[in-house]
Amino acid sequence: MVIIMNPEATSHNIDEVIKAIKSVGLEAKIMEGAQQKIVGVIGDKTKLASVAIDALPGVESSVAISKSYKLASREFHPQSSIIDVDGVKIGGDVPVVMAGPCAVESREQLLKAAQIVKEGGAQFLRGGAYKPRTSPYSFQGLEVEGLKYLAEAREATGLKIVTEVTTVEGIAPVAEYADMLQIGARNMQNFGLLKEVGKCNRPVLLKRGLAATIDEWLNAAEYIMNAGNPNVVLCERGIRTYETYTRNTLDMSAVAAVKHLSHLPIIVDPSHGTGKWRMVKPMALAAIAAGADGLMMEMHPNPARALSDGMQSLTPEHYRAVMTAVNKLSKFMHDENLLTLDEG
């Protein structure tokens, strides 16, 4: 439930509302709406039955949240959230790009990739140290050694680091070396893992599950937020459909849907979304045009030699071309004021 205060409500009025909420053992959260303050109620709202909230001074109305997810919903938090990852803001005017190899393969490969990523203008270096592979015989990642190379690449370039965590035991080492924890598609409904990253103080990039509905995805975000971590960024990376030409079907409409349903930022991964490097540029541009807050793209210094996902990895040259096009389009979108989405 959210309690909408009228524009003239005083801070004393708001304090009284919070007191009433807390008196029945619920939690309250104050948010700034477009014109007025909103008090969100967290917990079982039936407990509020004994309190005449709407009768309290300064209260305009109270509205039940219709979705099963609350903290992630735009009803609860009307203003779009900006997630600050150690100074890089995701969800603001400028799209944020995360680029790098599918996997950290060696120190040399990663440092080279990091240099190219930095020069091309992305803000984050990506690269898996723990790889969730379909086959147990495929390269599984360098684990802590890979995390150390990522940290070294951050020192060398100033790029922020985003990398996947696949187990509860992996959270502590990944949080030690990375700026942002990635929950991969295969773990989107690993609720134990979601609850644990919710207790961690690092922002989380939550990729959409292989066959997850938008509702399931936002409920997965709710698990993380409900456990205490409000810093969640969503990543559309394609879903399973009957189409076999592409690796996944990149659901671009999810960007507009999520923008309507949630205040959380959403980025798009056209690499895993298509499985084909040739499709990365058009889908990256489509994502920006749709209002995505950023991109995640795979780039390898030498895709033909990549240990994983070479088919969908950009070469350094293609990466630079994609970045140039993305920057031009996002500047146009900004200058023409095309970014203002209907947030109602």
Q: List interacting residues with ligand PEP (CB under 6 A).
A: 102, 128, 132, 164, 184-186, 207, 237, 272
Task: Return the residue matching tokens 């146009």.
Answer: 332
Stretch that binds Mn ion, among 91-99, 206-214, 303-311, 316-324 (CB under 5 A): 303-311
Beta bridge partners of 41: 28
CB of 287: closest distance to ligand PEP in angstroms?
A: 14
Which amino acid is residue 310, in one-letter code?
G
Q: Which is nearer to ligand PEP, 102 or 194 (CB)?
A: 102
Interface map 133-152 toward Mn ion (x if CB under 5 A): --------------------
Of 75 and 309, nearer to ligand PEP (C-beta) is: 309
Answer yes or no whether residue 102 interacts with Mn ion by CB under 5 A: yes
Inter-axis angle of helices 316-335 and 280-290, nearest 10: 20
**Using CA atoms, how far apart are residues 206 and 233, in angstroms rounded to an integer?**
6
If binding means CB under 5 A, how many residues of this protein chain bind Mn ion?
A: 2
Task: Tell whether residue 309 is a contact of Mn ion (CB under 5 A).
Answer: yes
Which of 64, 46, 143 has the alpha carbon at shortest distance from 103? 143
Cβ-closest position to Mn ion: 102
Residue 59 bridge partners (DSSP)? 5
Asked if 185 interacts with Mn ion (CB under 5 A), we say no
Query: Residue 179 binds what, of ligand PEP, Mn ion, none (CB under 5 to 8 Å, by partner type)?
Result: none
CB of 128 to ligand PEP, least distance (A): 5
C-alpha span between 107 and 105 (Å, rounded)? 7
Closer residue to Mn ion (CB): 88 or 102? 102
Residue 342 C-beta: closest distance to ligand PEP, Å: 28
Residue closer to ligand PEP by CB (options 231, 248) is: 248
Toward ligand PEP, which CB reaches closer, 132 or 173? Answer: 132
Q: How far is CA 66 from CA 73, 75, 142, 217, in A?
A: 9, 8, 44, 16
In eight-state DSSP terms, residue 81 is P
Rounded to an integer, what distance in angstroms lies between the CA atom of residue 248 and that of residue 271? Answer: 10
- Give me the least distance between CB of 173 and Mn ion, in Å please: 20
Q: Checking DSSP bridges between strand 266-268 and strand 232-236, what pairing results, if any?
A: parallel
Stretch that binds Mn ion, among 32-40, 95-103, 182-190, 206-214 (CB under 5 A): 95-103
List the one residue out of 33, 34, 24, 29 whose CA is nearest residue 14.
29
3-state secondary structure of 202: coil
**Contacted entry of Mn ion, ligand PEP, none for residue 207, CB cut-off 5 to 8 Å set by kind:** ligand PEP
Phi, psi of 62 (to 5 degrees): -125, 140
- Binding residues (CB under 5 A) for Mn ion: these are 102, 309
